[in-house]
Amino acid sequence: MTPAGDLRLSVVVPAYNEADTIERVVRQLRALPLTVEIIAVNDASTDQTGAVIDRLAKEKLLDRALHHPANRGKGAALRTGIAAAGGDVVVVQDADLEYDPADLPTLLGPIQTGRADAVYGSRFQGGPHRVLYFWHSVGNRVLTLMSNMFTNLNLTDMETCYKVVRTDLIKRLPLTSDRFGFEVEITARLSQAGARIWELPISYSGRTYAEGKKITWRDGIAALFHILRFNLFPPAGDWRRR
């Protein structure tokens, strides 16, 4: 890795029908006071998302514009982006403006100083946030509690999008999730690999369903299954070695 304080951040932006917001996200990322590689993965969008990211790549605002010929899910898009990442550290940036890229320099801190291998940005540690769905917050906390019981971590927000992870570590993890099980899986794998994990507060501006929010109660039920699956049946191999 490069010296602390001089890390190159690879930002993976999975996108499905986010033509209205993805350009604003990319421009915010490009304005960060960091060395940033931006990789957008169009998961077979049916709107103009693919055309927008191709234009942004031509304008040199994106470093990589990748396309899935068929819709495979968020987890699959993330795995595609992670495989293409060339920076020292990887983070996921949703294309919907719920998460603020201005938080990323702070989240890099524990990795820059050599104290952490991964940093989670928590929506539940007191950062500013839009007031929305009560039962969503309850569901997130229940899933985090269940995950913590198996991983023996004391996270407050397992389902957060903002997970900043050393590239050499995340590329070594055997990630297989195609859809929203990715958050559960990567948390289980980081725990099983003995990663040093920090958690810091972030801001959060959640969307309503009318504004395009995609996750539903069905994804919460599926996450409970994924917690059991990924924690009780880890794959064999030497990927746990640090």
Which tokens sit at 19? 């033509």
Q: Roughly how many angstroms between the first and final C-alpha of the chain, as a whole number? A: 14
Q: What's residue 134's pLDDT?
A: 67
Q: What's residue 138's pLDDT?
A: 81
Provide the β-strand partners of residue 166.
89
Q: Walk along the chain (242 residues) and give the pLDDT tens digit of each residue.
A: 344 458 999 999 999 999 999 999 999 999 999 999 999 999 999 999 999 999 999 999 999 999 999 999 999 999 999 999 999 999 999 998 889 999 999 999 999 999 999 999 999 887 555 555 566 778 788 999 999 999 999 999 999 999 999 999 999 999 999 987 999 999 999 999 999 999 999 998 764 444 445 566 677 788 899 999 999 999 988 888 65
Could you tell me which residues come within 8 angstroms of residue 216 by beta carbon, excluding any fewer than 6 positions away?
A: none
CB–CB of 157/127 below 8 Å?
A: no
pTM to 2 decimal places: 0.89
Return the H-helix or E-strand segment holding 231.
helix 217-232
Domains of the chain (ranges, CATH numbers): 8-232 (3.90.550.10)
Q: What's residue 241's pLDDT?
A: 62
Q: What's residue 163's pLDDT?
A: 98
> What is the torsional sign of CA 132, 135, 141, 143?
negative
- Residue 37: φ, ψ to 5°: -110, 125
Q: How many helices (H) and strands (E) does the chain have?
A: 8, 7
